[in-house]
Structure 1
Amino acid sequence: MTGEALIEQAISLETAASTSETHTHQAAVASDGAKAEHSHDAGDDALVSRDVQRAGLPLATTLTGGALGVIFAVVWNVCTRRVNGRATPNAVALALAGWLAVAAVPFLIIPPNPPAVGSSESIDHRTAIWFVAVLLGLGAVIVWYVLRRWIQTQNPTSPLASIYPVAASIILIATGWMLMPATGTDYSGFPADLLWNFRMSAAATQLTLWVCLGLSFQFLIKRYSQRDRRP
């Protein structure tokens, strides 16, 4: 609900800016003695109206969460098979790794923007950057896991098993962030507080989703295990 209110504020700013630009264009055309006509208007209907977007938000959230849950279950099952009878992977820890890879790292590299920020011409460019950022996040998690397992295999009591993997992941993320091309987004004229609140709302939503996913999965795993142990 908080994010929806922020989106409405951003849309209002976008509509006001578009209307002002239209009026300026009309005045410029009229001053040349031409007809004050324009090819488009600020009131043009969007492909999907705001009413439809608001009504479809719960359904879209449910479908997204369900799809993410299926992917999470598949990854957890693969991790369970790879431990070869050792301790069952902790679903909360796996959810934290997923959040870091799919949400946190992309957020640091290309944080979400509300309506009125960014142009439609740069959507493909920004989408490509986001996709690379997700791959970078996944790579950082894999590097952390592989390096940690290798150090533990070589020297199980080494305190470096916790330090080196984290440092390597941070270096990888920082290097990718520095090499990533700029999005070219223009933030001039947009309220900084609205931008900040929107991004914090988006980050909180992602964190809540992954935490609930990990806790729910861990709870169900424990109940299933207890049921199997009953005589």
Structure 2
Amino acid sequence: MNSVTVRTLLVRGMLAGVVAGLLAFGLAYLIGEPSVDAAIAYEEAQSHAHGHGHEGVELVSRSVQSTAGLATGTLVFGIAVGGIASLAFCFALGRIGRFGPRATAALVAAAAFVTICLVPFLKYPANPPATSDPGTINQRTALYFLMIVLSVLLVVGATLLGRRLAGRLGNWNASIVASAAFVGATALAMAFLPAFDETPADFPAAVLWEFRLASVGIQALLWAAFGLLFGYLAERVLVPGTADETASGTASRSAAPTAPAAP
């Protein structure tokens, strides 16, 4: 794959990331922000109950945080992951099996969602405001990124293992063995890494559940949208005759004469 094609795919990957980021923003605003508001209300109620009241000055209003701030964050994230995932697509195309551009894009997006979103979430799930100790934020952040790095390394190792075993066991059996190895190694890593249980006992369980479910749903939507849209755009770049053949086939069918009805 030459540099011009890679650059074209990189641009289209970032465009797909913009669209995916917009969709993620819409879902985050609809299902994520209500649980954040509920958590903030709980935090304020606890502060008043203990006589603390409001401390400091709010630099950015809540309305700006939930609209412009949220949109900026999701768009920047979408562009970043779109660019990185498009480069991963360029490397993976033709190396992970006889898959076309659309299937490869879908597999890359699915693998990215599992390794950098789902697996770290299972060990260190997202928490709304008022459910974590500010004093442990640095430690929690470091361990979360460590879990991401471990997940990526383990999936790369599982992929190499599957490719090595494919000649002896066949693709299907090798994939099962590699997947089992990845799950087992991930579970072992999770068991040894420290956990955090800082959520107050009286924090509404429904709010915590809704926030975490929204966090996973937003990520799933972003990666699914990116995988589908980028696969379509990549196919138009790598298989340019596909769109022309589809258009010409449609035009031929519309221009074909209709057989007269039988008397």
TM-score, normalised relative to structure 1: 0.84
Alignment RMSD, CA only?
A: 2.2
Deviations 1:150-170 (A, max 9, x none): 111x32636421221011000
Match of 1:60 in 2: 73
CA distance in 2, matches of 1:217, 1:116: 38
Which runs of no fewer than 5 residues in structure 1 stay unpaired? 24-40
Distance 1:134 1:85, change over 3 A: closer
Distance 1:56 1:159, change over 3 A: closer
The answer (yes or no) to whether the contact 1:143–1:168 under 8 Å persists in 2 is no
Residue 177 of structure 1 pairs with residue 190 of structure 2: yes
Deviations 1:90-123 (A, max 9, x none): 1001110000001000110000000010021110
Shift of 1:129: 1.4
Once the two structures are superposed, the pairs formed by residues 71-220 of structure 1 within 5 Å of their partners are 71-80=84-93, 83=95, 87-88=99-100, 90-152=104-166, 154-155=167-168, 157=170, 159-220=172-233
Distance 1:126 1:85, change over 3 A: closer
Match of 2:4 in 1: none
The answer (yes or no) to whether the contact 1:148–1:161 under 8 Å persists in 2 is yes
Match of 2:20 in 1: none
Report sequence identity in percent: 33
The answer (yes or no) to whether the contact 1:22–1:42 under 8 Å persists in 2 is no
The answer (yes or no) to whether the contact 1:7–1:115 under 8 Å persists in 2 is yes
The answer (yes or no) to whether the contact 2:123–2:195 under 8 Å persists in 1 is no
The answer (yes or no) to whether the contact 2:162–2:174 under 8 Å persists in 1 is yes
Residue correspondences, number: 212
State the 4+ residue runs in structure 1 displaced beyond 6 angstroms: none
Matched residue type, 2:226: L
Which runs of no fewer than 5 residues in structure 2 stay unpaired? 1-29, 246-263
Matched residue type, 2:42: L
Distance 1:98 1:84, change over 3 A: closer
CA distance in 1, matches of 2:106, 2:122: 22
Matched residue type, 2:137: I
Match of 1:44 in 2: 56
Shift of 1:42: 2.1
Matched residue type, 1:107: F
CA distance in 2, matches of 1:175, 1:12: 38
Shift of 1:144: 2.0
Match of 2:40 in 1: 11
Matched residue type, 1:45: V
The answer (yes or no) to whether the contact 1:118–1:185 under 8 Å persists in 2 is yes
